[in-house]
Amino acid sequence: MPNEQSNIVGHHYVQPNLRKNGAIMSNWTRICTLEDIPRQGSRVVESDSGRIALFRTHDNEVFALADRCPHKGGPLSQGIVCGCKVTCPLHNWNIHLADGKAIAPDEGQTATYPVKLEGGAVFIQL
Amino acid sequence: MEKMKLVLVGNGMAGVRALEELLKLAPDLYDITVFGAEPHPNYNRIMLSPLLAGEQTVQEIIINDLGWYAEHGITLHLNKKVVKIDRKACTVTAADGTSAAYDRLILATGSKPFILPVPGNELNGVVSFRDIADVDAMIAASQQYQHAVVIGGGLLGLEAAYGLKLRGMDVTVVHLAPWLMERQLDRSAAKLLQTSLEEKGLKFLLEKRTEALLPAAAPLPQAGEGTAVPTLRVGKVRFSDGGEVPADLVVMAAGILPDDALARSAGIHCARGIVVNDTLQTFDPRIYALGECVSHRGINYGLVAPLFEMAKVCANHLAQMGIARYNGTVTSTKLKVTGIELFSAGDFSSSEHSDELVFHDAASGIYKKLVLENDRIKGAVLYGDSVDGSWYFQLMRDGADVSAFRRTLLFGQAHLGDSGHNPETRVASLPDSAEICGCNGVCKGDIVKAIRDKKLYTLDEVRSHTKASASCGSCTGLVESLLAHTLGGDYSEAPGKKPLCKCTDYTHDEVRAAIAEYRLKDMAAVRTHFEWKTPDGCPACRMALNYYLLCAWPQDYQDDPQSRYINERAHGNIQKDGSYSVVPRLFGGMCTPHQLRAIADVADKYRVPEMKVTGGQRIDMFGVKKEQLPAMWKDLSDAGFVSGHAYGKAMRTVKTCVGSAWCRFGTQDSTGLGVQLEELTWGSWMPHKFKLAVSGCPRNCAEATIKDFGVVCVDSGYELHVGGNGGIKVRVTDLLCKVESEAEVLEYCGAFCQLYREDAHYLERTAPWIERVGLEKLKAAIVADPEKRKALYQRFLVSQQPAQIDPWKERANGAMAGEFAVLRG
């Protein structure tokens, strides 16, 4: 488990290409409530930088990743969530929700987005 | 009370086996004393060949070690050859003076090799092939000398020759007859055998009569016998035609003779062996005899199977039960030379009353010959492919009438055909009474029972419990197949068996059993019960458990969408670009203009980029965005369609051909029946995808014989076929049975579906499932037992009630909206 806090989660890894104009963006966008995401499931978020897969784990942790498997671009949002991993529906690659990295022996990484939970609402930093 | 005294003379396989059988029946009846002329405890004489070949060690061929004798309180005298029986005083005396008194005496003195009465047969380097000392001498010679000559091209001679070759010697086999193993093989099979042995480096001299063995040191042969100096070593073998071959080692393997010298000296009636009756008693009622030393009904036996049968009978009488009789044995032979498959049984010489069935493929090295008399097998010779040996042997001993399948007899049991082609299914179809291990007389039923009752998981365990394949080992493959077959179905508690997934050490079957037994009704309960290693499982176990729970508790279990593969969660087939395909159900492949128009309208409205008629006789619309699915389903639902489940581990389609309504060949209403079957089964979740078909006549245009459940209509009714697969590995169905009415087709189909649902592992299609559990299991539940069939059918109907709520319609009406709607960021 990457984080001990029970309700506010996410991780603080931000890919350089997500920073616009050389400055770290801080526009947190409210997306939905926690209840809108099924436990051990996901929702698809349409954003300016493409589709984002928003996951909720069994332990109510929330993660946001680009909805593209590093393998062949499969929609990760459609995968099965176990622990803090998602299995891509196309070729069964397993991706860490925390850092977007493929689990060995596969290699690759998907972009991730900071997320936070406030008062039962889910925010993504876009 | 003092126990009776039992003395065994001869510490070999037959005698000790009699003691083993006796100890099972009456462990405390006798004080037992055993005399053995060899220095070794009881060992497996059949394994001398592998011992010589270096494939086994002395330790490995010991059957009962010294501890066994001690454990049973048996006094063992090794290295003591009994030279005298005093029948009045009831004592035996060994060469060193050791003596023992008896109330009952068993003679199991075995046989001695037949030593050719030729000059030079006493030279050093002339050995037989009967015991460990002979093998030691042969191994020693192979380290020092080059040329070996084996006299005798029978079973024993060939095995000796092969072993010596492996030990690095240059080996020539000399044989009097025109071909090898002439008592077991005909000329054609012997020729193939000779060729493959020649490829292994053996040389053969056939139709050669040995005239003399000549010493190495002496330049000229002696004129007469008796003048040779015993310390000289053999150097050559000379034949009656004047030819000679060099020989530093000569192995006499020209046959065996019963060793009845001791019995003779005691005045017991002998005639080429100690004469015994059907209870294995000699003419002295206190004295029994068995094994190679006896003559029973004028026959001497030199193979192990009869000896063991004798041991059972002998022990029965010694245990004072007095009911068993030995009636002689039909023997079969296998050659223990690695890489050579050879089987021979019965009498294969042809006569005017007999017919021969012959299959001869010289290039592949396969030869099969069966000799029939009055449609019964009289003899069999198999070379190159001996898998069916035990089957033919069984038919032969049963005197079974083979006229019904005479035309395919040579192709083996698999060709009779109710299941598969691998050895496992061949074994599966043998009757329980079929003998698997000829040496120890162990039947399939005994082995299966032992595997089940004693929970045996390995070959070694089966060997130690049943003795099957513990002697010559040639049935090892059959025993392994049997083990795989038996364990595969009902028993999978084997350590090292495949666990359900990495989250647990328990198997599919164990988990399913516990779900029922402990009434586990959700995934968390299962994981807690089995102490899952992961908090919320992995995709493999989540999908499997979801299915198992749904199957076990169709009314109670709340399906978990998050444990479904995306196709089943979204009720469409995900395509490689992330779009989905939509396949509405067309029952039995039948459709109306109204339906086709509705599909066309939907395709237009949602701009479906591509459409295709599928192999399952329906229409596939590709490239649909997930967000569009509920709206599209609404339109389809309004037009009367339900989901086709083209995406699920579920019942898929019923393919039909035209049938009697239009087709001039049609015998029944195949389309109507197909619609009924699809109405019965649609929506059912299965361990894997499941396809049906109905063909209106045996021309089988609907390809029913490669479906999971296929119906082939005939004039008199309906043939039901199961377990077909048209996938990577095409498998033709097995015929389950034939029924007479459509109502029966529906009932049998429902029962079959339910048995598959309840018994197969998740993601196991019907074909491998049936190969694993055996068609017999299905027949027993569905065909032979109407009660079971009706119960299965009822359970299927119950599970269909929630399953036939159309998932498309539910979602079109708003269920699971979040699954399909996209959020804005």
For position A71, which CATH number holds?
Answer: 2.102.10.10
Please, which pLDDT band fits residue A16 given cuts at 50, 70 and 90? very low
Please, which pLDDT band fits residue B293 given cuts at 50, 70 and 90? very high
Q: In this structure, are B207 and B154 located in the same domain?
A: yes
Instruction: Please judge whether B825 and A87 are an interchain contact, meaning their C-beta atoms are less than 8 angstroms apart.
Output: no
User: Closest partner residue to B822 among A29, A46, A87, by Cβ?
Assistant: A46
pLDDT at residue number A77? 95
Calculate how close chain B gets to A117, using CA atoms only, in Å: 15
Q: Which of B254, B274, B294 is the last residue of a domain?
A: B254
Interface mutation vs chain A, best among B547, B566, B581, B627, most A CBs within 10 Å: B566
Calculate how close chain A gets to B565, using CA atoms only, in Å: 7
Q: In this structure, are B764 and B739 located in the same domain?
A: yes
Instruction: Please judge whether A45 and B824 are an interchain contact, meaning their C-beta atoms are less than 8 angstroms apart.
Output: yes
Whether A46 and B822 have beta carbons less than 8 Å apart is answered as: yes
* Touching B: A residues 12-31, CB under 8 Å: 29, 31
Find the mean pLDDT for residues B608-634. Answer: 94
Residue A3 has pLDDT above 70, yes or no: no
Find the mean pLDDT for residues A6-27. Answer: 47
Residues of A in contact with B537 (CB under 8 A): 82
Instruction: Please judge whether A38 and B543 are an interchain contact, meaning their C-beta atoms are less than 8 angstroms apart.
Output: no
Calculate how close chain A gets to B367, using CA atoms only, in Å: 48
pLDDT at residue number B821? 92
Residue B791 has pLDDT above 90, yes or no: yes
Question: Which range, of B65-69, B192-196, B414-418, averages the lowest pLDDT?
Answer: B414-418
pLDDT at residue number B340? 78
Peptide bond connecting B27 to the previous residue in cis, omega within 30 degrees of 0: no
Q: Quick check: is B717 in a domain?
A: yes
Residue of A nearest to B825 (CA): A47
pLDDT at residue number B338? 66
User: Closest partner residue to B539 among A73, A74, A87, by Cβ?
Assistant: A87
Instruction: Please judge whether B539 and A90 are an interchain contact, meaning their C-beta atoms are less than 8 angstroms apart.
Output: no
Residue A39 has pLDDT above 50, yes or no: yes
Residue of A nearest to B535 (CA): A83
Residue of A nearest to B575 (CA): A90
What does the DSSP 8-state code read for residue B252? E
Greater confidence (B132 vs A19) lies with B132
Residues of A in contact with B535 (CB under 8 A): 58-59, 83
Residues of B in contact with A78 (CB under 8 A): 566, 569-570, 574, 578
Domain count of chain A? 1
Residues of A in contact with B824 (CB under 8 A): 31, 45-47
Greater confidence (B550 vs B218) lies with B550
Residues of A in contact with B819 (CB under 8 A): 38
Q: Quick check: is B283 in a domain?
A: yes
Q: Which residues make Cβ contacts (< 8 Å) with residue B8, sequence separation at least 6?
A: B15, B16, B18, B19, B32, B33, B34, B35, B105, B106, B108
Average pLDDT across chain B, whole number:
88
Q: In this structure, are B89 and B119 located in the same domain?
A: no
Q: Quick check: is A57 in a domain?
A: yes
For position B158, which CATH number holds?
Answer: 3.50.50.60
Q: Quick check: is A72 in a domain?
A: yes
pLDDT at residue number B374? 86
Residue A2 has pLDDT above 60, yes or no: no
Q: In this structure, are B186 and B305 located in the same domain?
A: no
Find the mean pLDDT for residues B746-770. Answer: 94
Please, which pLDDT band fits residue B331 given cuts at 50, 70 and 90? confident
Tens digits of residue pLDDT in B115-128: 899 998 889 999 99
Find the mean pLDDT for residues B244-257. Answer: 92
Average pLDDT across chain A, whole number:
82
Residue B229 has pLDDT above 80, yes or no: no
Question: Which range, of B128-132, B226-230, B335-339, B382-386, averages the lowest pLDDT?
Answer: B226-230
Residues of B in contact with A90 (CB under 8 A): 574, 576
Calculate how close chain A gets to B732, using CA atoms only, in Å: 30
Can you give B271-336 as a three-state secondary structure string?
CCCEEECCCCECCCCCEEECCCCEEECCECCCCHHHHHHHHHHHHHHHCCCCCCCCCCCCCEEECC
Question: Which range, of A2-16, B330-344, B416-430, B627-641, averages the lowest pLDDT?
Answer: A2-16
Tell me the C-alpha distance between A117 and A10, whole Å.
Answer: 9
Greater confidence (B496 vs B416) lies with B416
Q: In this structure, are B232 and B88 located in the same domain?
A: no
Please, which pLDDT band fits residue B418 given cuts at 50, 70 and 90? very low
Interface mutation vs chain B, best among A77, A82, A94, A97, most B CBs within 10 Å: A82
pLDDT at residue number B416? 55
For residue A95, give both structure tokens.
């991706």
Greater confidence (B95 vs B468) lies with B95
Please, which pLDDT band fits residue A12 given cuts at 50, 70 and 90? very low
pLDDT at residue number B414? 63
Q: In this structure, are B169 and B219 located in the same domain?
A: yes
Tens digits of residue pLDDT in B661-710: 889 888 999 999 999 999 999 999 999 999 999 999 999 999 999 999 99
For position B600, which CATH number holds?
Answer: 3.90.480.10
Q: In this structure, are B552 and B622 located in the same domain?
A: no
Q: In this structure, are B683 and B774 located in the same domain?
A: yes
pLDDT at residue number B395? 83
Residue of B nearest to A72 (CA): B576
User: Closest partner residue to A46 among B542, B562, B825, by Cβ?
Assistant: B825
Interface predicted TM-score (ipTM): 0.81
Greater confidence (B84 vs B462) lies with B84
Whether B670 and B696 have beta carbons less than 8 Å apart is answered as: yes
Tell me the C-alpha distance between B9 and B82, whole Å.
Answer: 7
Calculate how close chain B gets to A37, using CA atoms only, in Å: 8
User: Closest partner residue to A80 among B539, B578, B819, by Cβ?
Assistant: B539
Tens digits of residue pLDDT in B562-573: 999 999 999 999
Instruction: Please judge whether B823 and A31 are an interchain contact, meaning their C-beta atoms are less than 8 angstroms apart.
Output: yes
User: Closest partner residue to B536 among A51, A82, A87, by Cβ?
Assistant: A82
Find the mean pLDDT for residues B600-611. Answer: 95
Residue B451 has pLDDT above 90, yes or no: no
Q: Quick check: is A11 in a domain?
A: no
pLDDT at residue number B57? 87
Q: In this structure, are B123 and B241 located in the same domain?
A: yes
Residues of B in contact with A80 (CB under 8 A): 539, 542-543, 562-566
Calculate how close chain B gets to A114, using CA atoms only, in Å: 13
Q: Quick check: is B369 in a domain?
A: no
* Touching B: A residues 57-116, CB under 8 Å: 58-59, 72-75, 78-83, 87, 89-90, 92
Q: How far is CA B293 from CA B122, B471, B529, B810, in A?
A: 24, 20, 62, 83
Q: Which residues make Cβ contacts (< 8 Å) with residue B242, sequence separation at least 6?
A: none
Instruction: Please judge whether A80 and B562 are an interchain contact, meaning their C-beta atoms are less than 8 angstroms apart.
Output: yes
User: Closest partner residue to B823 among A45, A75, A126, by Cβ?
Assistant: A45
Tens digits of residue pLDDT in B340-371: 778 888 877 767 788 888 888 878 888 888 99
Domain that holds residue A50: 37-125
Find the mean pLDDT for residues B620-629. Answer: 94
Residue B619 has pLDDT above 90, yes or no: yes
Whether B151 and B164 have beta carbons less than 8 Å apart is answered as: no
pLDDT at residue number B487? 67
Calculate how close chain A gets to B560, using CA atoms only, in Å: 10
Greater confidence (B685 vs B231) lies with B685
pLDDT at residue number A7? 41
Residue of B nearest to A46 (CA): B824
Q: In this structure, are B240 and B264 located in the same domain?
A: no
Angle at Cα B503 formed by Cα B498 and Cα B508, nearest 5°?
40
Tens digits of residue pLDDT in B702-730: 999 999 999 999 999 999 999 999 876 68
Interface mutation vs chain B, best among A39, A44, A47, A81, most B CBs within 10 Å: A44
Residues of B in contact with A83 (CB under 8 A): 534-536
Can you give B498-509 as a three-state secondary structure string?
CCCCCCCCCCHH
Calculate how close chain B gets to A51, using CA atoms only, in Å: 9
Interface mutation vs chain B, best among A52, A80, A124, most B CBs within 10 Å: A80
pLDDT at residue number A5? 39
Residue of B nearest to A93 (CA): B539
Can you give B645-702 as a three-state secondary structure string?
CCCCCEEEEEEECCCCCCCCCCCCCHHHHHHHHHHHHCCCECCCCEEEEEECCCCCCC
Percent above pLDDT 70 for chain B: 93
- The pairing of beta strand A94-96 with beta strand A112-113: unpaired
Domain that holds residue B19: 4-111+258-318
Tell me the C-alpha distance between B544 and B506, whole Å.
Answer: 13
Residue B419 has pLDDT above 50, yes or no: no
Residue of A nearest to B579 (CA): A75
Q: Give the full edge-to-edge strand order of the sheet including B210-215.
A: B210-215, B234-239, B244-246
User: Closest partner residue to A41 among B562, B823, B824, by Cβ?
Assistant: B562
Count CB atoms within 10 A of the CB of residue A104. 7
Instruction: Please judge whether A32 and B574 are an interchain contact, meaning their C-beta atoms are less than 8 angstroms apart.
Output: no
Burial-class residue A81 by CB neighbours within 10 Å (0-12, 13-18, 19+).
buried
Find the mean pLDDT for residues B294-323. Answer: 88
Find the mean pLDDT for residues B460-485. Answer: 76
For residue B394, give both structure tokens.
């069984």
Q: In this structure, are B795 and B702 located in the same domain?
A: yes
pLDDT at residue number A4? 38
For residue B430, give both structure tokens.
């043998």
Question: Which range, of A42-51, A89-98, B479-488, B597-606, averages the lowest pLDDT?
Answer: B479-488
Q: Which of B224, B254, B284 is the last residue of a domain?
A: B254
Q: Quick check: is B324 in a domain?
A: no
Residues of B in contact with A54 (CB under 8 A): 823
Q: Quick check: is A14 in a domain?
A: no
Q: In this structure, are B578 and B541 located in the same domain?
A: no
Residue of A nearest to B568 (CA): A78
- The pairing of beta strand B104-107 with beta strand B210-215: unpaired
With an 8 Å Cβ cutoff, the interface of chain B facing chain A consists of: 534-539, 542-543, 561-567, 569-570, 574, 576, 578, 818-819, 822-825
pLDDT at residue number A13? 42
Residue of B nearest to A76 (CA): B578
pLDDT at residue number B397? 80
User: Closest partner residue to B534 among A52, A73, A83, by Cβ?
Assistant: A83
Calculate how close chain B gets to A29, using CA atoms only, in Å: 7
Find the mean pLDDT for residues B455-470. Answer: 77
Residue of B nearest to A33 (CA): B823
Domain count of chain B? 5
